[in-house]
Amino acid sequence: MMHKIQARKISSFNQEIWSIFIDGQTLGDVLSAATNDSMYKNLWCAWLLEENQNVWEQEGNYIWKLIKDKQNCNLPILLCADDMDFWCTVVVAQVRFYNKVVVWEKIGVVTGEFDVKKWRESGIRNIATWSETDWSLYGETLSGLNADDKAWEQWWSAHWLDEERRRLWNYVHPYFNDDKNINWLRSERLSFPVDEYDNCIAAFQCDKF
């Protein structure tokens, strides 16, 4: 069964924002009905986050990279409206692409709390993920440091944009895509024509809050 997906403006917390509609209902309403939990009605679409170079909005760059590359993964779709980041409520859809059809196989809520120690160690300190360029740039200065060396923090301070990007891909992305960290909801499998799905996405790109 094919479903209809659209982007429409709604009023939420005294703001006009884009929201995902499934078969004429907001995504929050769909999930609230499926779970009997009104909490979902107050979440905002994760796609409202912008793709830019602001050091405090790397979550947006992460989301839009997944969307544009059409990655088969657990894609953030709803976030807590208060914070609009990955440290509060995060709802993901297990996205799969099949020729001209996009399927949300499952929808779930990210559970538990990030391990802050592992998150902090997943950036430049995670030498196992270094590229050849990293080794040429930092091999002599960083690779031999102890874990508690203050030089790591000095690097983070000077290169936070790069550091946060590394932590997102090295720690947050695997966390979001590990089933043990997702509470899958009893929601319907949703299939969309790829052109409608792309049109929905385009609305979020042309008008940000």
Residue 132 and residue 191 in one domain: no
As a whole number of angstroms, the distance between CA 178 and CA 113 comes to 13
Task: Say how many C-beta atoms besides its own lie within 10 A of residue 94's C-beta.
Answer: 19
Structural contact between residues 74 and 109, judged by C-beta atoms closer than 8 angstroms: no
Q: Do 76 and 145 fall within a single domain?
A: no
Domain containing residue 133? 116-164
| 77-93 tens-digit pLDDT | 999 999 899 999 999 99
Single-letter code of the amino acid located at 169: W
Q: Is the pLDDT of residue 205 over 50?
A: yes
Residue 23: what pLDDT?
97
The answer to whether residue 77 is domain-embedded is: yes
Kindly tell me if the per-residue pLDDT of 209 is higher than 70.
no
Among candidates 201, 195, 5, 3, which has minimal Cα distance to 99? Answer: 195
How large is the average pLDDT for residues 92-111?
97
The reply to whether 12 and 45 lie within a common domain is: yes
Cα–Cα distance, 45 to 19 (Å, whole number): 6
Our count of domains for the chain comes to 2
Same domain, 49 and 88: yes
Beta-bridged to residue 64, according to DSSP, are: none
Considering the domain architecture, whether residues 99 and 187 belong to the same structural domain is answered as yes
Cα–Cα distance, 92 to 107 (Å, whole number) = 6
Instruction: Say which residue, 112 or 129, is predicted with more confidence.
Output: 129
Q: 107 burial class (0-12, 13-18, 19+ CB within 10 angstroms)?
A: buried
Measured between alpha carbons, how far is residue 175 from residues 87, 93, 134, 171 in Å?
12, 14, 24, 6
Rounded distance between C-alpha atoms, residue 176 and residue 172, angstroms: 6
pLDDT at 54 over 60: yes
| Mean pLDDT, all residues of the chain | 93
Residues 80 and 159 in one domain: no
For 137, the 3-state DSSP assignment is helix
Res 130: pLDDT: 95
Task: Tell me the C-alpha distance between 31 and 187, whole Å.
Answer: 7
Provide the pLDDT for residue 66. Answer: 98
Q: CA angle at residue 36 from 72 to 21, to 5 degrees? A: 50
- The verdict on 120 and 191 lying in the same domain is no
Both 95 and 137 in one domain: the answer is no
Q: What is the mean pLDDT of residues 149-176?
A: 94
Q: Is 171 among the domain residues?
A: no
